[in-house]
Amino acid sequence: MLDTSLSEEVIARHGITPEEFARIREILGRDPSFTELGVFSVMWSEHCSYKNSKPELRKFPTTGPFVLVKAGEENAGVIDIGSGWAVAFKIESHNHPSAVEPFQGAATGVGGIIRDIFTMGARPEFLMNSLRFGPIEGDSETAARNRRLFSGVVEGIAHYGNCIGLPTIGGEVYFDESYNGNPLVNVFCLGVLRHEQIARGAASGVGNPVFYVGAETGRDGLAGAAFASRELTEESKQDRPAVQVGDPFREKLLLEACLELLASGCVAGIQDMGAAGLTCSTCETASRGGTGVEIEIARVPQREPGMNAYETLLSESQERMLVIVKRGQEETVQRIFDKWDLPYAEIGVVTDDGRMRVRENGEVVVDIPARALADEAPIYHREAAPKAAVAPLELSTVPEGSVESSLRQLLEFPSIASKRWVWTQYDHMVRTGTVVRPGSDAAVFHVREAGKFLAATSDCNALFCRQDPREGAKLAVAEAARNLACSGAEPLAVTDNLNFGNPHKPEAFLALREAVEGLAEACRAFGVPVTGGNVSLYNESPTGAIDPTPTVAMVGLIPEESHITRSHFRSAGDAILLIGGLGHELGASHYVHVVHGRKEGAPPSLDFEKEKAVQESVRAMIRMRLARSAHDTSEGGLGVALAESLFVGVGLSAEVDFGQTGLRADQLLFNESPSRVLITVSKANAAGALSLLRWRGVDARRIGTVTSGAELVIRADGSEFTWEVAALRAGFEDRIADLMS
């Protein structure tokens, strides 16, 4: 039986501290009801209020010449892409639900991010994701559980995206011990709209009716926002009611109905019922509009009998929207909802008193100032641990093993190996807009109605961030921008997903602060604003906290179709050029981790000016029709990048000669220094391309030739290393499928 008392135990179970409860009493001038306590608990949770992270988020650059709707104003940021067209995009997490129920957790994460986009008036165009799991190798119970989580999450993402008819065109998947028991499921959606179609989530117009539309409300997802704002424990399986159940077919109907409704001109405001459900949508629209909202809970369509106000308000059932309708347009709204066969009800009205007021069969059960809920949650400045210097890797402590076996080992490491097993489950070609498919540095999508080509990528090397969150975050932004440059795109903006541990722990809060400041510094350096995103804290399980994982999703614009460039080598006889230098830094590298079993050393240092010069040079080569392929070097270094460049083309190999470098062979081939790109040019253009690159002031050298042989041959410092390309490809392509079979 539900304990509706206001005992200390009940208050604490709602995540409300004694100080916060005293503040609630001050706001209300009385004790809250049990239902009001629940409303405060979800709206003042970290998931909804960002009470532990908001001071840090203010450090991000959020304005720029292309920004039409900036971070924090609405459900998603909006960026101008020219000719009167714009894109809305955002990344969100569904980590805790996916740990408890991987299929539904991932599926409803996709559904939620899609609603964030069409709530802005944009038609969703494509999806991406960034996924992290514990290791999937071996016969241990932990490895088996990780495989189940991995399989369930991928199936959930595929199910929802495929059913609703949206392509999943890119992303990343990593495996590491730090994600045992706490996987990360970060999902991204981008939509397109005209400037004049931008919709707002404000309850404007006193007297305007408030409509509920979409799936009936059930008890699934009950208090999910509060669930997402605490650590996972062995008892988390009892939180299954906090995991929603999705219906992509209902969402498709809701999407089309809402876009038609917005086009009709009868909408004064619209809001997704996401985190905190009906509670969030009512108080946030009222707060944004400077108005109030009063609703009658008995009118809300319900899937389960006997639901009370507490359950109805805190439910996070999926596929639901709140719509503020212009008075007198009710019949238009009803006609559209009937056409799309959607449940709906007029449940309330916009008021002028600034309050969120809820009645249950006429009796007031919630009466709270809307702004206090939506915008005035307590803000905390948490204690950060002192920052300790990261010791550089001592190269002499790293044994120099077989370069041949090390490259094979890296290519077969699941974080680096082909993710074909994942993306072949996604319908990445639906709607026929995908130009560059998953597997390249960045995905490219043709937005046909706007006549634009967009590139998108998501990136974060958590090994770097574990060792130094600030530098790791800077490197994540740089890698994302470099991936876009290799596709021919100019970066537009960033959305981020900050995945960290418990902010009450000084070490975790230090990591969050350092990463945010690193992201902010890098975004300013590259001139890309942050349009919004998500903070996911409390990512800890009984085994410990995850590695700091500030995921960066970046979108860019490719001016002309002819500029679209892929990462794989194209033709035998082409010259292979290396832009940016050989590099030398093995600290925090996959080579040291995978081959030698160590997570050690400071990550590589980033020189912003060098990085920008390399990226501009790559774009210049592309625009001058010189570059035939472009591939950045990241995880695994030059050795992995060279091998990957051979795996798409049929019958291609390469002969590479670095000459005298003065570096150890493993240091040369597997260092992960940034600001480096492999490009190929025709043999006839090689000399001219090198001259142009050097004129632009970047380090550039010819290192080899694409061949039609069967072997990858690399020479350096008097040594020669040889691999059969077919064997390398088989290990790279089949590794994850073999582990999951």
For residue 371, pLDDT over 80 is answered with yes
The pLDDT confidence band at residue 674, using thresholds 50, 70 and 90, is very high
Supply the pLDDT for residue 365. Answer: 96
Helix (H), strand (E) at residue 92: strand 85-93
**Cα(295)–Cα(187) distance, rounded to whole angstroms?**
32
Known catalytic membership, residue 47? yes
Distance of CA 544 to the CA centre of its chain: 23
Q: What's phi and psi for 186, nearest 5 deg?
A: -110, 125
Helices within 321-389 (DSSP H only): 330-339, 370-374
Q: Dihedral through CA 375, CA 377, CA 383, CA 389, nearest 10?
A: -30
Residue 241 scores a pLDDT above 70: no
Mapped onto helix, strand or coil, the DSSP state of residue 301 is: coil
The model's pLDDT over 408-436, given as tens digits with 9 standing for 90+, comes to: 999 999 999 999 999 999 988 887 889 98
pLDDT at 286 over 70: yes
Alpha helices in 527-633 (DSSP H): 590, 608-623
H or E segment and range at residue 116: helix 102-118
Mean of pLDDT over the chain:
93
Note the pLDDT of residue 221: 65
Residue 240 has pLDDT above 60, yes or no: no
529 φ, ψ to 5°? -75, 155
Structure tokens at 34: 């049990």
Sketch out the chain's domains with CATH numbers.
Answer: 63-199+418-564 (3.30.1330.10), 200-377 (3.90.650.10), 385-411+566-741 (3.90.650.10)
Q: pLDDT exceeding 90 applies to what percent of the chain?
A: 88
Q: Is the pLDDT of residue 111 over 60?
A: yes
Rounded to an integer, the average pLDDT of 68-88 is: 95
The percentage of residues in the chain with a pLDDT greater than 70, rounded to a whole number, is 96
User: Which regions of 200-318 does DSSP assign to beta strands (E)?
Assistant: 209-214, 267-272, 292-296
Residues near 512 by Cβ (< 8 Å), separated by ≥ 6? 53, 56, 469, 498, 500, 503, 537, 548
DSSP E strands, 489-547: 490-499, 530-536, 540-541, 544-545
Whether residue 481 contacts residue 614, with contact meaning beta carbons closer than 8 Å, is answered with: no
The residue whose two tokens read 């090994």 is 463
Structure confidence at residue 227 (pLDDT): 42
Residue 243 is predicted with a pLDDT of 67
3-state SS, 699-741, equals CEEEEEEEECCCEEEEEECCEEEEEEHHHHHHHHHHHHHHHHC
Which candidate, 430, 444, 439, places its Cα nearest to that of 484? Answer: 444
Do 578 and 676 meet the contact criterion of CB atoms below 8 Å apart? yes
Kind and range of the H or E run holding 457:
strand 452-459
Beta strand pairing call for 549-558 and 490-499: antiparallel
Q: How confident is the model over 458-484, as pLDDT tens digits? A: 999 999 999 999 999 999 999 999 999
Q: How far apart are CA 554 and CA 492, in angstroms?
A: 7
| Confidence band of 225 (pLDDT split at 50, 70, 90) | very low
Q: Which of 736, 587, 711 is nearest to 643 (CA)?
A: 711
Question: In which element (H, E) is residue 48 found?
Answer: helix 46-49
Q: If we measure between CA atoms, which residue out of 632, 633, 661, 637 comes closest to residue 589? A: 637
Task: Report d(CA 126, CA 376) in Å as an integer.
Answer: 35
Using alpha carbons only, give the angle 285, 60, 586 rounded to the nearest 5 degrees.
135
